Amino acid sequence: MERTFAERGMSGFLLHDPLAVAVALDPSLVAGKRRRVTVDVQDSQRGKTVVEAAGTGPMVATDVDALRFVTDLATSLGLPAVHDLGGLDRAE
């Protein structure tokens, strides 16, 4: 987490796994396009996901209803209500 907050100056990080589960339950949380996706296996870029601008393949999310997702997640976990996403504008 130090890399995210200190070294990269990020304000937070996205919760990809909970979002993936939420999208499996409610696909309307995201909008996306079908793209060709590969994963680089070379040493310097190992693990980097490469998404091509065109092609067929899985749906790649291009937009998330973040407020609805975070609100639903907080409610599910019994956490206080979320009213805005202030501070997460530079999350990744």
Share of the chain above pLDDT 70, in %: 78
Beta strand 30-34 with 59-64 is antiparallel
* The dihedral formed by the CA atoms of 76, 2, 91 and 43, expressed in degrees to the nearest 10: -110
Higher-scoring residue by pLDDT: 72, 90: 72
pLDDT of 76: 87
The mean of the pLDDT values for the chain is 81
The CA distance from 37 to 47, in Å, is 12
pLDDT tens-digit map of 26-63: 999 999 999 999 998 888 888 888 888 877 888 888 89
Give residue 52's identity as a one-letter amino acid code. Answer: E
